[in-house]
């Protein structure tokens, strides 16, 4: 899932301070799972903002809503009737959701309420970690199901480098060496031949090197 963290409230106050009526829009998707932009976080942010602006004697109305997904036009449409009641929207969805909202409601200022960080997993409650950098050409089949692009600090396709020590990466003793993990897993799977075989340079055109990416699938288009 896409992982994000709440923006500092000072930053959001600064975004909206010149308006009078603002809608805080959460997303029930990924950002709910990482507890950054779901219904609960919308309520807390809206309440804190109301406290701040009331204390400052500033006329400001803050309303709350949350959409099933902000990366989907059908759900964004749900705001059609009420969007004009607001001077601005703070979207707590990931960067994709914020942008899609801005594309649909071109005349409304839309501000981000979270910092979108990575594609990852919930390791435990309150701990989220990166697992994929959406390179567009997955090589997990030959790396024991562990992604060297997101888990090796240098994104090396043939590792480990000389900085790997006792299973840890040289950038920090808290960071596992991705290639150590790959080696250990391939050994467990009896697939060390993958490790012995050098990986060819990757075609990064499917990654960001090819410019903004798009998937078009005629088989599922209407």
Partner 1 sequence: MRLRYPTNIKIIKVPCSGRVAIIHMLKALEEGADGVIVAGCLEGDCHYQSGNLRAKKRVIYVQEVLEKIGMEAERVAMYNLSAGDGPRFAEIAREMTEKVKELGPSPIKNAKKLASKKSKVEVAA
Size of the site for ligand SF4 (CB under 6 A): 22
Mask: binding to ligand SF4, 97-116, rule CB under 6 A, as x and -? x-------------------
- Angle between helices 39-55 and 9-16 in degrees, nearest 10: 60
Length of the chain: 222
Mask: binding to ligand SF4, 25-64, rule CB under 6 A, as x and -? --x-xxx---------------------------------
Stretch that binds partner 1, among 23-31, 49-57, 80-88, 179-187 (CB under 8 A): 49-57
Q: How far is the CB of 142 from ligand SF4 (least distance, A)?
A: 10
Residue 171 within binding range of partner 1, rule CB under 8 A? no
Residue 146 within binding range of ligand SF4, rule CB under 6 A? no
The partner in contact with residue 200, picked from partner 1, ligand SF4, none with C-beta cut-offs of 5 to 8 angstroms by kind, is none
Name which of 73, 67, 56 is nearest 18 in CA terms: 56
Gyration radius of the chain's alpha carbons: 22
Q: Find all residues with CB under 8 Å of 89, minimum gap 6, and list them.
A: 22, 23, 24, 25, 79, 83, 101, 105, 108, 109, 110, 111
Name which of 48, 25, 49 is nearest 38 in CA terms: 25
- Options 19, 52, 118, 194; binder of partner 1; rule CB under 8 A: 52
């Amino acid at each position: 899932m896409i992982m994000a963290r709440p923006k500092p409230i000072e930053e959001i106050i600064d975004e909206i301070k010149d308006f009078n009526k603002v809608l805080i829009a959460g997303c029930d998707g990924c950002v709910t799972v990482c507890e950054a932009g779901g219904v609960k976080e919308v309520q807390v942010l809206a309440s804190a903002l109301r406290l701040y602006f009331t204390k400052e004697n500033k006329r400001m109305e803050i309303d709350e809503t949350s959409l099933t997904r902000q990366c989907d036009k059908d759900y964004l449409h749900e705001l059609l009737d009420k969007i004009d009641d607001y001077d601005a929207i703070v979207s707590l969805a990931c960067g994709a959701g914020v942008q899609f909202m801005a594309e649909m409601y071109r005349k409304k200022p839309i501000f981000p309420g979270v910092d979108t960080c990575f594609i990852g997993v919930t390791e435990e409650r309150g701990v989220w970690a990166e697992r994929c950098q959406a390179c567009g050409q997955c090589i997990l089949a030959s790396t024991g199901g562990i992604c060297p692009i997101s888990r090796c600090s240098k994104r090396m396709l043939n590792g480990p480098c000389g900085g790997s020590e006792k299973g840890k990466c040289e950038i920090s003793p808290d960071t596992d060496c991705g290639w150590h993990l790959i080696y250990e897993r391939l050994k467990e799977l009896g697939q060390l031949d993958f490790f012995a075989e050098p990986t060819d340079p990757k075609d990064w055109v499917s990654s960001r090197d090819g410019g903004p990416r798009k998937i078009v699938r005629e088989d599922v288009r209407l």
